[in-house]
Amino acid sequence: MPVTPPDISASDLDAAAGFLRSQSDLLITSHVNSDGDGIGGGLALLGLLRQLDSRSQLLLQDEPPGDYDYLDGWDEIIDLGNAPAQQHDTAVLLDCPNFDRIGRVGDQITTDAALLNIDHHPDNERFGAINLSTDVVCSTCEMLYHLAMHMGLDIDRPIAEQLYTGILFDTGGFRYSLTTPTSLEVGADLVRRGARLDLIADRLYNNATFDSVKMIGRAIDSMALHHDGRVATMSLTHEEMERGDSEASVNYGLWIKGVEVTALLKEERVGHYRISLRSREDVDVSAIARIFGGGGHARAAGCRQEGSLDDVLTRMLAAIEQMLP
């Protein structure tokens, strides 16, 4: 049986468990543009709370991407476009370093609401009444696994697949450095409990559209090397962005030997760039992202910038250069 990492204290787990057991009508939510960790974790928590006969709902600002429709409970996710106007005085925030990350879902939470914060970002602001937050776990889903085990709840096949999805997503298939021995043990236990690892990996990694694969081609076409080949940048124009999802493109810079940091500049709106940063091992890209008002993890982070492509690129490269070893 996998053990709880020493950095999660039993008293924090007890406090979170007490919170979940004492509520009967909980709002569960995660950050804007929710990903596999937030969606898998949200659905898993819905299932776990059902075992406590507790009513809860999973509300996200944005309609979740259809890639996750293999998860049990998929139809139960509510996005803000389909949600009745309501005010909640208790909520669980998953995978959010601060309250603002939930976006406009925040308008449905009273200002004095009791919040349970479950997260694994190093810059977590411990904004909840109860905070289950440490960066020694690879994902919010791994944290939920430890919480479920601590509470003696049943992780059945549907919940195992929801949690496994978040863990696989956040570790890049158990490859990123935030993958610990415990993450691997948790993954193994979830497979033992019925998580279909082949199906989940296939849906996460081999599920792109024709347009988004072509977009990877355009991003690679734009690639340039800087700082003696230690930084690779790519960019996509607003026009290119409209043709499909570009999320998969960012990692290709790290395919190149010697590249320490890669950045993908995506023009979300004309003159407005969303920048995704990835690093190999020495550079903490979350520190770079924070300079520009963004955040994330040491190996994967992001921020936004306005201006011309040249200006934004110049600014990013100057900041990256400061961090190069």
Residues in CB range of 254: below 8 A, 6 or more apart: 232, 262, 278, 279, 280
Which of residues 29 and 140 has its CB atom nearest to Mn ion in the complex? 140
At residue 254, the 3 state secondary structure works out as helix
The nearest distance, CB 288 to Mn ion, in angstroms, is 19
The nearest distance, CB 166 to Mn ion, in angstroms, is 7
Task: For the segment 296-325, give every residue that binds Mn ion (CB under 5 A).
Answer: none
Which of residues 49 and 178 has its CB atom nearest to Mn ion in the complex? 178
The nearest distance, CB 93 to Mn ion, in angstroms, is 12
Stretch that binds Mn ion, among 34-42, 171-179, 186-194, 218-226 (CB under 5 A): 34-42
Stretch that binds Mn ion, among 4-12, 32-40, 101-109, 130-138 (CB under 5 A): 32-40
Candidates 170, 240, 260, 267; binder of Mn ion (CB under 5 A) is 170
Query: Should residue 142 be labelled a site residue for Mn ion when binding is judged by CB under 5 A?
Result: no
287 phi, psi to nearest 5 deg: -65, -35
Angle of CA points 202, 70, 138, to nearest 5°: 65
The nearest distance, CB 305 to Mn ion, in angstroms, is 23
CA–CA dist 237, 218 (Å, integer):
10
Query: Should residue 119 be labelled a site residue for Mn ion when binding is judged by CB under 5 A?
Result: no
The side-by-side arrangement of strands in the sheet containing 272-279 is: 224-226, 231-236, 261-269, 272-279, 300-306, 295-296
**Residue written as token pair 């411990």:** 126
**Site residues for Mn ion per CB under 5 A:** 37, 95, 139-140, 170
